[in-house]
Every structure is written in C-alpha cells, then in structure tokens.
Structure 1
Amino acid sequence: MSIIRNKHHKIYSGIKISFYLFFYLLILGSTSYIDLPFNYYLEIFVLRSCMLIYSAIAFFVIFHLEKRPPKDFGIICRMTTMKHLVYGLCMGAISILFITGILFLSQQAKLEFSWQQPIFSTNILYILLLFIVVGIDEELLIRGYMIHTLGRYNTTYVVYLVPAIIFGALHLSNPHVSVVGFINIIVIGILFTYMTLKTRNIMMAIGFHITWNFFQGGFFGFNVSGTTTEAVYPIILLKDNLWTGGDFGLEGGVLTTLTVLLVGLLVYYLPLQKTNVQRHHNTLSHDTTYKRAT
C-alpha cells in the first residue's frame, strides 16, 4: 500500500491539508514582519486581505489540479446561499447580544460610557472590514478546503473533529488563551462544520464568523480571542471568571459554550433549503457525511 496514495489512488487528504496549512502559516507568519505606514487597524486589514488573496489563488490552483469546481468546496453564490449568509450574520450578532445581556443582568459587565454616547471612527470601519476578511479567509481554509477534502474519503467524526481541532490550534498563540477558550474555539469549529454540512455551502459559517467577531470586538469591545480592539460601546468587565471569560474574551467563558450549543439546536431545527450540489461520482463517503449532518 502506498504511503502517499489511498485505495482510490488519490493523495491522502491529510497530506494535502498538511501542505496547504504549512504554506498558509508560512505566508501568515511572513506578514508579521511587514511594517506598513498605515494606521494600526488599517495595516492589519491590509495584511489579512493579502492572506485572503493567497487563499483565492490557492483555490484557483486547486480547482485546476484536482479538476473540482468551487461548489465541491462549498463555495456557492446564489440566492439560496445568500439567505444562508444572512441567517449566519443574524445568528452571530444575536448570540453576542444574548451573552452580553446576561452579563449585564447578572451585573458582571457594564458600559464604560452610556447608550447615548456611541463612539464612531474610521477605526471601527477598519475593524469591521478586518473581521469580514478574517471570516471569509478562515472559513475558506477550514470549512471550505479542509472539510471538503477530508469528507471525500474519511468518516464523519474525522470531518468534524480534525478541522475543529486545527481551528482551535490556530488560536493557541493568541494572548491570554485559556483551556476553556481553546475548548470553546473547537466547539465553535464543530458548529461551523455542522452549518456547512447542513446547508452544503460555507456561507452561513462565514456570516456567523463575521458578526460573532465584530459584535464582540468592534461593537462591544470585548477581547476577541484575546485581542483588544476599539468599540462603538466599550464594555467594562466587573468580574473575571468562567462566565465572563476574562482577558481572553467571551470565548473563554461557559456562556459561550452554552450559547453555541443553543445555536446548534437552532440550526438543526431550521427548515433550511439546501443547495443542489452535484458532487463527483466517487465521493460516496462525502455524500454520506452530508446525509448524516442533515
């Protein structure tokens, strides 16, 4: 048996993903040495946009090398998938509003100023654009490439767990990372995978990812995976515990765990109209993965 190719005479998905991830991290790491004469948030936005461009080029190459169209990776832009995107955007925003409301009611957080004193600046716009780019880029990498590559010849458990663990590992270098935070990132990754398999495209995961990050950081000023940003309504945490998540942000708290589980139930019961994705004739395992998810 070949150590490179599986019984279908295809290169093992793990090898493909390892190479893709290696070059992705290599380019991501190289951007940290680039110093642009920009505002901090604009600089980060530009550098992450470069990563998105890299992802787009990488996918273009993959489409031609593997002779698989974008829809085989869940990249579908049509009316149905735009609805999925809107669902994701709404659920991400409402989730953070829900968690914040509980923290307010339990007197574990408060506004730094008041509801009548929102802070608007060009930095908030850059932060929004940054989270849009990050959401698209990371979902192309994890839910776009990884789960659709693993899903062709691997079991459902592999499709759910491996990308989610890699997604969590990508956040281990973030400031103030905690055990609960790491676990929550994995749980969120599993939710994003479920969204992708349920809808057969990555648009809902992208939408949720964007507003989940922006409403944490750019709107309320919670740390996003340990990273601090400016905000429209800065929040002051009155307590540092397992509910608030401490310096890692909401993702380090058990409220996030419970909220993500609730969102998973909501997605399960949503009467979502699936896209009609025609997959390759030999992707039986991939088809089974989709069926089990629904």
Structure 2
Amino acid sequence: MLNHQVEPARTLSRSGPLGFILTNRWGVRPIIAIALVWASDRLVKKMLGGLANPVQHSGTTDTLLLSPVLITEFCRLAGLILVFTLFSYIQKEPIGAWGYRDAKALKRLCWGLFFGFLFMSTLVLSLWGAHLLIFLPSAFSLVETLRLGTLWALMFLLVGIFEESQCRGYLQYVLTRNIGFWWTGALMALYFMYAHWTNQGENMIGLITVGAFSLVACYSLWLTGSLWWAIGFHAAWDWTQSYFYGAANSGVVFEGHFLAVQPAGSDFWNGRMAGPEGTPLMLLWLLLSAIAMYLYWGRRTKRPLATVTSI
C-alpha cells in the first residue's frame, strides 16, 4: 500500500484564528479552498485576456500561437501551486500528501500516457471503421510534425497536471474529510462538466462523457492514492485527440495537428463538433477502462484513501 495517506486531523495546525478557520471541520476551510482555487484560475485568465484560447480553428497554420497557450497554462498551474502552498503552510501538511507523493510516480505517469494514447486511438479507429470519421492528409513535413508534437505534448502535460490537481488534488482531500470520497468525486465531476460547458461545439453527450472521465480519473486516485496515472492518461487523451488525429476536443479544433479527421454519417454517433468525446461510444470505452483498472489494481492493493479521517 502506498505510504502517503492524508495525515489525521490532530496533526493539523489550529494556531490562531486563521488556522482554526482553515482546519475546523465545520468551519469555512472547504469553501475558502474552492473559492481560492476558482479565483486564481479566473484571475490568470483575466490578466492574460485573449491568450487563453488563441488556437481555436481560424483557418490558419500559425504555429507560433502555441507560445501564448503554453504561457497561459503555465501561469494557471503556477497560480494553483500558490494556493496549495498557502494551505500546506497553514495546515503543516506537505503538498505531496494530496496525491503527488508516490514512489511509482514516473511509472504511473508513463503507463497513463501509454493507455491514454491507446484509449483514444482505439476509439478513433473504431469510428473510422464504422465510417463515422474520414481521414484527411497531413499538411506538415516530418520535422515540423515532430516539433509541433513536442510542443503540444508539453502543453497538454501542463493541462493534465493543472486539471487533475484542480479537481482531484487538494480539493478532493479536503472535501473527502467532510463529505466523503465519492460524494466529493461526484461534486468534482459536476464542476469539470461546468468548466467544459462554455466550449463552443460541446454537446450534451460530450458533457456527460467529460463527467464520466472525471469519475474514472477519481477511481484511479481511489485505487492508487496517486494522481500520476490520471495526469498521464489525461494528457495523452488530449494530445492524441487534438494533435495526433486532429479531431475536435470538447468542441475546439486546434491548429498545427498531425493528421486530420472529419465527421461522417450519423451526428449522434460521430460526436460531430464535440469530437470523439461527443460520441456515446466514449462511455463504453470509459467503462472498459474502469473495469481494466479494477482488474489490475483493485484486487491487488488496499485502498490508500480508506484511512482519510474526518476533521
């Protein structure tokens, strides 16, 4: 069993009014945590303005647009780390205790990357085999393809770290102590759906699959006590869908992709503007992923988060 459970409540600092507020079970600590996590992200987006989403499909191939996106994602992650650092200091609890401290972190990350690519590839190829997607030729040379692939990989790794940390990092742990792990997981899934709701081209099935993805990522945390597999899976999911196959990702088509696919046939089954995330087949793929996770981890390990105590 991984040795990185959340420390019992008695180890949390209660020195001074601020310490009491932030550590008292029925105080406002969870509310403050949610507010600060949300506010830090909104502040970064407001400060950077139009840099946040400069790669929506515009008919150009200006790959320099990747630079503002990388800056935006880096700043969003930096803001989240500042919030985590504050709560780590107040609670006298290391950030690593919130899903990051794992002796197998690199191994889990790499396996998550592998299965994320495999997951999305089998789905896209299944849609192609069912004549629901059409492949288009690549417009880039090999050198340019490798360069773009590396840049997009870095960007989506930042996205994976940020979104998994935001939804299943500190907030998952602090709310688990108050309302339980799976109620927290459901709440974070609803938040994750809301965060994707404003994406152009997103559809209802796409929102449902986003929520289901959040629960699957939460299940990996429940089984392993670690965020690293989910981070890798999330990053590879986005990279494979958006860059490698050039499909829409939650309603957004990114520039500078390797291949390109075009929806065909039934709009209900091909996901249309929402991309592969908008097809009902995605729910089946996610269910199979959860079953595979249980077969691999579920019967071999104890639940690392079963000892999280209420405050």
**TM-score (norm. length: structure 2):** 0.80
What is aligned with 1:18? 35
CA-to-aligned-CA distance 1:5-62 (integer Å, 9 cap, x gap): 89746434234213321232232233224599x9212211121111112222222222
> Structure 2 vs 1, CA of residues 274 and 130 (structure 1 numbering), >3 Å: closer, same or farther?
farther
What is aligned with 1:290? none
Q: Which ranges in structure 2 are unaligned for 5 or more consecutive residues?
A: 1-20, 55-62
CA-to-aligned-CA distance 1:73-107 (integer Å, 9 cap, x gap): 111253x2222212211221111111112112111
Does residue 240 of structure 2 align to residue 215 of structure 1? yes
> Structure 2 vs 1, CA of residues 76 and 6 (structure 1 numbering), >3 Å: closer, same or farther?
closer
* Contact preservation (8 Å) 2:30, 2:174: yes
- Answer 1 or 2: which has greater helix percent: 2
Does residue 266 of structure 2 align to residue 249 of structure 1? no
* Contact preservation (8 Å) 1:84, 1:199: no
Q: Which ranges in structure 1 are unaligned for 5 or more consecutive residues?
A: 287-294
Match of 1:97 among 115, 121, 136: 121
Partner Cα distance (1:100, 1:34) in 2: 30
Partner Cα distance (1:140, 1:157) in 2: 17
* Paired AA for residue 206 in structure 1: I
CA RMSD of aligned residues (A): 2.9
Q: How does 1:1-294 map to 2 (within 5 A)?
A: 8=25, 10-33=27-50, 39-78=64-103, 80-113=104-137, 120=145, 122-229=147-254, 230-271=256-297, 283-285=308-310
Partner Cα distance (2:45, 2:67) in 1: 17
* Paired AA for residue 43 in structure 2: L
> Structure 2 vs 1, CA of residues 246 and 159 (structure 1 numbering), >3 Å: closer, same or farther?
same
**TM-score (norm. length: structure 1):** 0.84
CA-to-aligned-CA distance 1:246-285 (integer Å, 9 cap, x gap): 1111111111111111101111111377699799x9x424
Partner Cα distance (1:121, 1:82) in 2: 23
- Percent identity, aligned pairs only? 21
1:157 is displaced (CA, Å) by 3.4
**Count of residue correspondences:** 278
Partner Cα distance (2:35, 2:183) in 1: 15
Partner Cα distance (1:177, 1:242) in 2: 13
